[in-house]
């Protein structure tokens, strides 16, 4: 094992390469996703727990993935439900907290319930928080956050009726902190590191607000092949980075 120093507190994964992994092996496209759900996530989560990393986020299904057709989404959602049913109790016993981000309203009702029940059941666990980004897009999150904040400000404005104009403006001011309170990731630290598997060198809209100072690690390794050794290699790279935050 590599000697790992200066580990991040929060790592986010752009999970890419599942379909290409399956195609290379003559398997149905969903085969790569099955490998990821059944093995890929667990080995990274358990390694992160060993290293006392507190947050892992996985981009499971993008708002853009609907373009792959209804058949693909049905198969993936079925696979997710199967995976949750197998892993829910194991994760809970290990002290893993589950958090779901994304527009869940767009998902099938039975999957919504399963995800929210899993989140509720594990809410008091503290070993590690595993975040599942499902029906998630960075721009979509920002738009939804703006809508939430607009609703909050609209309700607050009613309380200022009769006050002076200066009091109204002061009370309803938009701030960075108020905006962040309406993001899906409220209460979570920003990811210090984002890992994208599969060879692409872009964020594709992932965590647009939160990625301001994230270190970006790109690898050609397809996600189903991204195991503990590759994870450690990425962490070793991160440990050598000089993070200046604009200084």
Residue 65 known to be catalytic: yes
Average pLDDT over residues 66-92: 94
Q: What is the pTM of this model?
A: 0.92
Q: How confident is the model at residue 221 (pLDDT cuts 50, 70, 90)?
A: very high
Give a yes or no: residue 244 inside a domain: no
Among 148, 169, 188, residue at a domain's last position:
188
- Domain of residue 147 covers 138-188
How many whole angstroms separate alpha carbon 43 and alpha carbon 36?
A: 10
Average pLDDT over residues 8-21: 97
Give a yes or no: residue 57 inside a domain: yes
Mean residue pLDDT of the chain comes to 91
Tell me: do 99 and 194 sit in the same domain.
yes
Average pLDDT over residues 91-103: 97
Tell me: do 44 and 157 sit in the same domain.
no
Burial bucket for residue 235 (CB in 10 Å: 0-12, 13-18, 19+)? buried
Tell me: do 148 and 83 sit in the same domain.
no
- CATH number of the domain encompassing residue 101: 3.40.1180.10
Give the percent of the chain with pLDDT over 90.
83
Task: Supply the DSSP string of 166-181, one letter for each residue.
Answer: HHHHHHT---HHHHHT
Average pLDDT over residues 32-46: 95
Tokens of 9: 């507190």
Tell me: do 77 and 161 sit in the same domain.
no
Kindly tell me if the per-residue pLDDT of 159 is higher than 70. Answer: no
Judge whether 51 and 3 are in contact, CB under 8 Å. Answer: no
Average pLDDT over residues 147-164: 71
Encode pLDDT of 161-214 as tens digits: 555 544 554 556 778 998 999 999 999 999 999 999 999 999 999 999 999 999
Encode pLDDT of 136-150 as tens digits: 999 999 999 999 988
Tell me: do 27 and 78 sit in the same domain.
yes
CA angle, residues 34, 191, 38, in degrees to nearest 5:
15
Kindly tell me if the per-residue pLDDT of 133 is higher than 90. Answer: yes
- The residues near 190 (Cβ < 8 Å, ≥ 6 apart) are 10, 207, 210, 211, 212, 213, 214
Q: How confident is the model at residue 121 (pLDDT cuts 50, 70, 90)?
A: very high
Residue 167 known to be catalytic: no
Give a yes or no: residue 4 inside a domain: no
Task: Please give the pLDDT value at position 153.
Answer: 75
How many domains are contained in the chain?
A: 2
* Catalytic hit among 65, 92, 103, 125: 65
Judge whether 175 and 198 are in contact, CB under 8 Å. Answer: no
């Amino acid at each position: 094992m590599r000697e790992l120093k200066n580990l991040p507190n929060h790592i986010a994964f752009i999970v890419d390469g599942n379909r290409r992994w399956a195609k290379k092996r003559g398997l149905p496209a969903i085969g790569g996703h099955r490998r990821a759900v059944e093995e890929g996530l667990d080995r990274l989560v358990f390694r992160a727990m060993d290293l006392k990393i507190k947050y892992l986020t996985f981009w499971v299904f993008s708002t853009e993935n609907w373009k792959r057709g209804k058949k693909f989404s049905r198969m993936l959602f079925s696979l997710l439900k199967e995976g949750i049913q197998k892993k829910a109790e194991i994760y809970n016993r290990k002290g893993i907290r589950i958090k779901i981000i994304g527009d869940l309203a767009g998902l099938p009702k039975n999957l919504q319930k399963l995800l929210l029940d899993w989140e509720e059941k594990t809410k008091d666990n503290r070993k590690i928080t595993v975040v599942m980004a499902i029906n998630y897009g960075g721009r979509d999150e920002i738009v939804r956050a703006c809508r939430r904040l607009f609703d909050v400000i609209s309700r607050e404005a009613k309380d200022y009726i009769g006050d002076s104009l200066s009091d109204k403006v002061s009370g309803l001011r938009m701030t960075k902190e108020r905006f962040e309170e309406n993001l899906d990731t409220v209460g979570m630290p920003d990811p210090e590191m984002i890992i994208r598997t599969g060879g692409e060198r872009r964020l594709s809209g992932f965590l647009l607000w939160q990625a301001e100072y994230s270190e970006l690690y790109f690898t050609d390794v397809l996600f189903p092949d991204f195991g503990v050794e590759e994870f450690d290699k990425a962490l070793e790279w991160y440990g050598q980075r000089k993070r200046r935050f604009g200084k």
